[in-house]
Amino acid sequence: MNMKITAVIVALFLLAGCSTTGHFKVPEGSKLYIYERPEPVEIMAGGAVTTTPFFWTAAGIPPGSGIPYRLEKDGKVLKQGKLRAQFRVVSIFWPPFSLIYWPMGFNPDITYDLINDRQE
């Protein structure tokens, strides 16, 4: 029994170390592209988006810095800009060298409202 609990805890730690989750509001039928990645992210029920973390280039506060995004509908760009990023403390402890490669993530305490252009 203790081995199963330990395995679950280790699995949760691994998943937390290699992902970041944010909450989004986007227009119906639109596709959200994050960090110039070729595929749109999957927006789950409630607006949750989970993806791999971001490099240091995503650090900072918009409009000049942050995580680049693009919102498209029917192949046309509706809007694009930058999202607020947050340093991931887990990257300090996550091997190998997550602090170097994946230190930035979404801020889980805010909602990225891309309908009303608010990040709070």
pLDDT of residue 49: 97
What is the model's pTM? 0.79
Question: 72 forms bridges with which residues in the sheet?
Answer: 31, 77
pLDDT of residue 120: 86
Alpha helices by DSSP H, 38-97: 90-93
pLDDT of residue 69: 97
Instruction: Identify the segments of the chain with pLDDT beneath 70.
Output: 1, 6-17, 92-101
Residue 75's region, left for phi above 0, alpha for psi from -120 to 50, else beta, is left
Alpha-carbon distances of 31 from 11, 67, 89, 113, rounded to whole Å: 30, 16, 29, 14
pLDDT of residue 11: 52
pLDDT of residue 103: 85
Sequence spans of domains, the chain: 2-119
Sheet harboring 31-34: ordered strands across? 31-34, 67-73, 76-83
C-alpha to C-alpha distance for 73 and 110, rounded to whole angstroms: 24
pLDDT of residue 7: 59
